[in-house]
Structure 1
Amino acid sequence: MTGDREGHAAQTRRGRARLQPRWFIVAFWHGHRALLRLTGGRFGLWRPKPGGWGTLWLTTTGRRSGAPRRVVLGYVEDDGNLVTMAMNGWGPAEPAWWLNLQAHPDAVAQTRDGARPVRARRAEGEERVRLWSRWAEIDKDLDDFAARRPTETAVVVLERRDGPDPAG
């Protein structure tokens, strides 16, 4: 490789945000979910800090099975709502929890402050742009990571709702 080509290759590598290997991302989230299960949610959930995101435990209803399904998600707060992204660790497929919510939008979000019934919806238009920008302030590589997916990453708003807990 010539010096010019090496310099170009190095610049290209620096220009693209580094994403952990898929196996690492999956293993991390499985471990995080196991920690939550083992501790009953006492460890592994945190509130968003200024300029950062928090974690929640979302219980959805399986679109095919009808059974409760739990997933750990990062979130930010927006005017009383919880906002997350259907990114699937930046893999190409839509995450199962998002497919479940599209079929059954009522769910339960457990944060560090307790559980609350929520109804999920996709942010659209200017709201999506605003919420995406908010996430981009937290994660400077957001646009680069999102560009790796073949479809637009849904910004999901979990709005507080009244009513029974559908996920049991």
Structure 2
Amino acid sequence: MSSPGYQAPDLALVGAEHVRRYRETGGEVGYEWNGVHILLLTTTGRSSGQPRTNALIFARDGDDYLVVASMGGAPEHPQWYRNLLANPAAEIQVRAERFTVRAATASDAEKPRLWEIVTKVWPNYDAYQARTERPIPVVVLSPV
């Protein structure tokens, strides 16, 4: 689906394959993707209780990592975001380093500043927001 300002990414490495290659190589493959940096976010499935890992674009705000629950502008939140709402304790992997984080959705007051940071990294977020009526959350992942 095309939107004004949208730049189609190269989807040669996505989903479970992206996660697998990233893990196998300590991020040598998969950390850089379409000119941006990727982290692996592992949440706990809210129904299954099982670990669920997603490769996500990230930005930084001081010590915090910022990820966006855009799902390309889909009408519903991604499952990883729903998992974080149920249990904000998670793990991220940045290159070969893994550590525990606590997730929080940016408040209405802080979101405009954080949205500016994330859209500088991945301008398509503006196009994704234009595709959906739901406010797309910015999630702050703070190391613990």
Q: State the distance in 1 between where 2:70 and 2:138 align.
A: 9
Equivalences for residues 30-109 of structure 1 within 5 A = 30=15, 31-39=17-25, 41-46=27-32, 53-109=36-92
How many residues are matched? 141
Note the residue ranges of structure 2 that are not aligned, 5 or more in a row.
none
CA gap 1:111/1:65 in 2 versus in 1, 3 angstroms: same
Equivalences for residues 74-153 of structure 1 within 5 A = 74-112=57-95, 114-153=97-136
Helix, strand or coil at the partner of 1:126: coil
Divergent runs of 4+, >6 A: none
**Deviation of the 1:113 alpha carbon:** 5.4
Whether the 8 Å CA contact 2:70–2:125 is kept in 1: the answer is no
Give a deviation string over 1:109-159, Cα, whole Å, max 9, x none.
110251110000000133111000112223344323211022000000001
Q: State the distance in 1 between where 2:96 and 2:27 align.
A: 11
The answer to whether residue 16 in structure 2 is matched with residue 16 in structure 1 is no
Moved more, 140-149 or 62-71: 140-149
Letter in 2 for 1:143: D
Note the residue ranges of structure 1 that are not aligned, 5 or more in a row.
1-12, 47-51, 162-168
State the identity %.
Answer: 35
**Deviation of the 1:40 alpha carbon:** 5.5
Q: State the distance in 2 between where 1:151 and 1:157 align.
A: 19
Q: State the distance in 1 between where 2:31 and 2:121 align.
A: 18
Q: State the distance in 1 between where 2:39 and 2:124 align.
A: 22
- 1:29 corresponds to which residue? 14
CA gap 1:85/1:71 in 2 versus in 1, 3 angstroms: same
Bigger Rg, which one: 1
CA RMSD, 1 decimal: 2.7
Helix, strand or coil at the partner of 1:44: coil
Larger % of strand: which? 2
CA gap 1:41/1:129 in 2 versus in 1, 3 angstroms: same
Q: State the distance in 2 between where 1:55 and 1:157 align.
A: 15
